[in-house]
């Protein structure tokens, strides 16, 4: 009896297992053919893929162009695609070798050893493509292949893509036709505009094969592409390719390893060039961070805020002088003598600005923060608005908040006020915010959001959407304060002892403010590390560009900030005047 029960139990288990197996097969073959597993795999597509040899000419993903329409993310290259089965057609091999100027035996060898279509790129010309296609032969084609530029310009700004099936299905649960191999944007503009960049379809040459890799009888090579004049889309950035190339070259020449620079077009309130260091390394997540959008200590660049607030509060008395032999706490430490308000700004006297900050906050605890708002330092500065169904769409991915005061109680503590006045303590702003502050002063106090993308264009270059210039909310600088600040920023360069005097002989007149922020860190030799800044605009008399350069975590001796700023302003002048 026990033996019978055991047999019965085994039989039940076997039947259950068999039923589960049958259900699984039914699920795979009939039910979940287009959406299998939690990753929603399209089994039909993957099955066809296994029986198909193909050459992808374009992955169908949208691309980026600069403000003048030049490509930033892809390049087209002429190529000839030869499928292995033409090795049995000697006449075709002979004709192709003559057109392509390739030895007939070499072409035969390439095809004999190939298990996949052979892509020929060496010495392929437009005429080669035309002549190959005039043969009208099955198995060899001239094409223009799109190739992603891996080490492309403005990597941090444009961002990167990766295969991430989980993120793909989470973001686009309704797009079941997307292969799990579809790349999605994971940083920069690739991420913020991912929905517009997703491929509609690939462009490819393909043919079906049998188990040995030979073409199935009666199956020709097919050109697979959607005849669509509108897709893929092109994201027209505000970047200027020549200015971007030049910026990256200057940073590379001076070996600025951490930090970067951002150039803002003042008139259009847009980013003309932006580069962050270190360079993107796909195997190191830390290098993905765009430091031009990262809040850091601004040092004396923040004195621009204190100076503007002092002017607005009537504390810029020309007859008053300050003992700049004292440090920020009023102790002996510096040796600059007695300086007026204007001289203190040009020579960056700490004591003057701590005294002004103390007096202002005694009258109004929010005086510094109120002026920081007028100078765009308390808000995100990137373009933000409604884009079709997306409310609060932001062009700049993950733009963080800045900080002036971490603790409201610090507004009543003398040392905290003093440290805040010189851009230390808890003050952190982004280089892009600093550039927008300079642009705001340069354009007369008008606050505007900064764009990195100007338009979304269809494939045929007609416009799908335009990102219009937008004002930033809140109070603005008054005209008197603006004029005084423009004068102060210019004197930083023109004064005999000004911290920006190195820029006096540039072809553009520069106005701006230097900054040195302590980081609390030291290098291996025990030397202090600083963030070294220069933030300004040019030409001073007719402002066109605001430029910020910051070298982070560097010693004073190794700082490349001023050399980069100097050389890049010269490069901009040369480009603007057609010299390069």
Using the 8-state DSSP alphabet, how is residue 36 labeled? B
List the single range of 35-44, 273-282, 460-469 with lowest mean pLDDT.
35-44
Q: pLDDT band at 94, cuts 50/70/90?
A: very high
CA 531 to chain CA mean position, Å: 22
- Taking the C-alpha atoms of residue 121 and residue 328, their distance in angstroms, rounded to an integer, is 65
Helix ranges restricted to H, 43-154: 43-50, 90-100, 104-112, 126-134
- Taking the C-alpha atoms of residue 398 and residue 413, their distance in angstroms, rounded to an integer, is 33
Mean pLDDT of 520-539: 96
Q: What is the pLDDT of residue 70?
A: 93
- b/e per residue 292-311 (b: at least 16 CB within 10 A): bbbbbbbbbbbbbbbbbbbb
Q: Which of 205, 188, 206 is nearest to 197 (CA)?
A: 188
Mean pLDDT of 109-117: 83
pLDDT of 554 above 50: yes
Q: Which two tokens stand for residue 160?
A: 């990167």
Using CA atoms in the order 119, 121, 127, 130, what is the torsion angle rounded to 10 degrees? 10
Q: pLDDT band at 12, cuts 50/70/90?
A: confident
Domain boundaries, the chain: 76-146, 241-576
> What number of helices (H) and strands (E) belong to the chain?
18, 21
pLDDT of 89 above 80: yes
For residue 513, what are the β-bridge partners?
A: 535
Mean pLDDT of 541-567: 97
Helix ranges restricted to H, 89-197: 90-100, 104-112, 126-134, 155-158, 165-171, 188-192, 194-197
3-state secondary structure of 75: strand
The DSSP line for 463-506 is: EEEE----BPPS----HHHHHHHHHHHHHHHHSTT-TTGGGGGS
Tens of pLDDT, residues 130-140:
999 999 888 88
Percent of residues, the chain, with pLDDT higher than 70:
87
Using the 8-state DSSP alphabet, how is residue 399 labeled? P
Under CATH, which architecture does the 241-576 domain have? 3-Layer(aba) Sandwich (3.40)
3-state secondary structure of 46: helix
- Taking the C-alpha atoms of residue 1 and residue 456, their distance in angstroms, rounded to an integer, is 78
Q: pLDDT band at 477, cuts 50/70/90?
A: very high
- Taking the C-alpha atoms of residue 355 and residue 326, their distance in angstroms, rounded to an integer, is 11
Phi, psi of 488 (to 5 degrees): -60, -45
Mean pLDDT of 219-242: 77
Q: Where does residue 518 rank: exposed (0-12), middle (13-18), buried (19+ CB within 10 A)?
A: middle
For strand 545-554 and strand 528-538, is the pairing parallel, antiparallel, or unpaired? antiparallel
Tens of pLDDT, residues 285-324:
899 999 999 999 999 999 999 999 999 999 999 999 999 9
Q: pLDDT band at 156, cuts 50/70/90?
A: very high
For strand 63-65 and strand 234-237, is the pairing parallel, antiparallel, or unpaired? parallel
For residue 185, what are the β-bridge partners?
A: 161
3-state secondary structure of 261: strand
The residue with tokens 């669509």 is 228
What amino acid positions are annotated as catalytic residues? 300
pLDDT of 42 above 50: no
Domain 76-146, CATH class in plain words: alpha beta
Q: Between 157 and 22, whose confidence is greater? A: 157
Q: What is the pLDDT of residue 418?
A: 97
Q: What is the pLDDT of residue 1?
A: 56
Tens of pLDDT, residues 430-456:
999 999 999 999 999 999 999 999 999
Q: Which two tokens stand for residue 288?
A: 């993905």
The model's pTM: 0.85
For strand 453-457 and strand 234-237, is the pairing parallel, antiparallel, or unpaired? antiparallel
Mean pLDDT of 89-96: 91
Q: Which of 510, 485, 498, 492 is nearest to 565 (CA)?
A: 510
pLDDT of 547 above 50: yes
CA distances from 415 to 27, 274, 297, 355, 429 (A): 70, 36, 17, 11, 20
CB-based contact 285:502 (threshold 8 Å): no
CA distances from 123 to 78, 99, 128, 149, 196 (A): 9, 11, 9, 20, 35
């Amino acid at each position: 009896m026990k033996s019978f029960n055991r047999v019965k139990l085994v039989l039940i288990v076997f039947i259950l297992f068999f039923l589960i197996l049958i259900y699984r097969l039914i699920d795979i073959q009939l039910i979940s053919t287009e959406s299998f597993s939690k990753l929603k795999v399209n089994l039909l597509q993957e099955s066809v893929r296994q029986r198909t040899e193909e050459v992808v000419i374009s992955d169908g993903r949208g691309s980026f162009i600069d403000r003048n329409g030049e490509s930033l993310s892809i390049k087209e290259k002429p190529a000839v695609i030869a499928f292995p089965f033409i090795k049995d057609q000697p006449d075709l091999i002979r004709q192709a070798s003559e057109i392509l100027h390739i030895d007939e035996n070499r072409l035969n060898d390439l095809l004999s050893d190939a298990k996949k279509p052979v892509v020929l790129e060496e010495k392929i010309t437009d005429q080669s493509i035309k002549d190959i296609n005039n043969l009208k032969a099955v198995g060899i084609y001239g094409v223009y292949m799109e190739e992603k530029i891996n080490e492309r310009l403005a990597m941090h700004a444009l961002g990167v893509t990766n295969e991430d099936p989980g993120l793909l299905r989470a973001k686009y649960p309704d797009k079941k036709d997307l292969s799990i191999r579809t790349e999605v944007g994971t940083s920069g503009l690739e991420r913020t505009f991912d929905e517009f960049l997703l491929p509609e379809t690939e462009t490819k040459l393909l043919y079906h094969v049998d188990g040995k890799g030979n073409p199935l009888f009666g199956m020709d090579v097919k050109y697979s592409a959607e005849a669509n004049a509108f897709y893929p889309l092109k994201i027209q950035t505000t970047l200027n390719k020549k200015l971007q190339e030049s910026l990256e070259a200057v940073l590379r020449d001076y070996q600025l390893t951490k930090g970067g620079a951002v150039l803002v077009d003042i008139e259009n309130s847009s980013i003309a060039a932006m580069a962050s260091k270190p360079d993107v390394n796909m195997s190191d997540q830390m290098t993905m961070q765009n430091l031009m959008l990262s809040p850091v200590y601004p040092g004396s660049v923040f004195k621009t805020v204190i100076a503007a607030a002092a002017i607005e509060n009537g504390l810029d008395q020309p007859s008053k002088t300050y003992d700049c032999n004292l440090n920020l706490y009023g102790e002996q430490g510096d040796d600059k003598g007695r300086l007026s308000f204007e001289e203190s700004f040009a020579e960056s006297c700490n004591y003057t600005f701590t005294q002004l900050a103390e007096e202002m906050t005694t009258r109004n605890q929010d005086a510094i923060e109120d002026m920081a708002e007028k100078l765009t330092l308390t808000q995100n500065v990137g373009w933000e608005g409604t884009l079709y169904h997306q409310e609060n769409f932001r062009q700049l991915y993950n733009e963080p908040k800045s900080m002036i005061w971490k603790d409201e109680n610090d507004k009543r503590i003398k040392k905290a006020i003093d440290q805040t006045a010189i851009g230390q303590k808890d003050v952190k702003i982004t280089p892009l915010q600093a550039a927008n502050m300079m642009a705001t002063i340069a354009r007369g106090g008008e606050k505007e959001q900064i764009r990195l993308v100007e338009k979304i264009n269809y494939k045929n270059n007609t416009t799908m959407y335009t990102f219009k210039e937008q004002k930033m909310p809140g109070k603005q600088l008054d005209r008197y304060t603006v004029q005084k600040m423009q004068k102060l920023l210019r004197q930083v360069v023109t004064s005999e002892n000004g911290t920006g005097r190195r820029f006096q002989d540039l072809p553009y007149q520069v106005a701006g403010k230097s900054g040195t922020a302590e980081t609390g860190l030291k290098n291996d030799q025990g030397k202090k590390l600083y963030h070294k800044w220069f933030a300004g605009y040019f030409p001073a008399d007719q402002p066109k560009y605001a430029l910020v350069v910051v070298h982070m975590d560097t010693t004073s001796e190794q700082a490349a900030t001023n050399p980069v700023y100097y050389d890049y302003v010269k490069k901009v002048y040369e480009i603007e005047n057609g010299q390069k």
